[in-house]
Structure 1
């Protein structure tokens, strides 16, 4: 069944049924995304932050000094 075939039926649904259809589709999309995730559920991942990155600050400062 194609989207073009489904749309007229969706338009006939009540407000409540449309909301349920949206919830269903959102759940289905979430399932699809979870199976193709690169990251593992429940695992902690470290992220880099510019805070307290003093060596990065020094490199950038030195580069800017060269541009003057």
Structure 2
């Protein structure tokens, strides 16, 4: 199937199917790069900003310093 024909069919898909297609293509690209990148049924840690008060305090201090420099 020519790419132009495929693209016209993709344009007709509902939004959820387009998102699923994007996910599928991204996964395929990763698999081509490194077959062991993701392993099925394995847990992977994900960073979250929750409970990161040190980072928030550092940012607040930086903002306060910048504000003082601007005003002072």
TM-score by length of 1: 0.46
Structure with greater contact order relative to length (CA < 8 Å, sep ≥ 6): 1
Larger Rg: 1
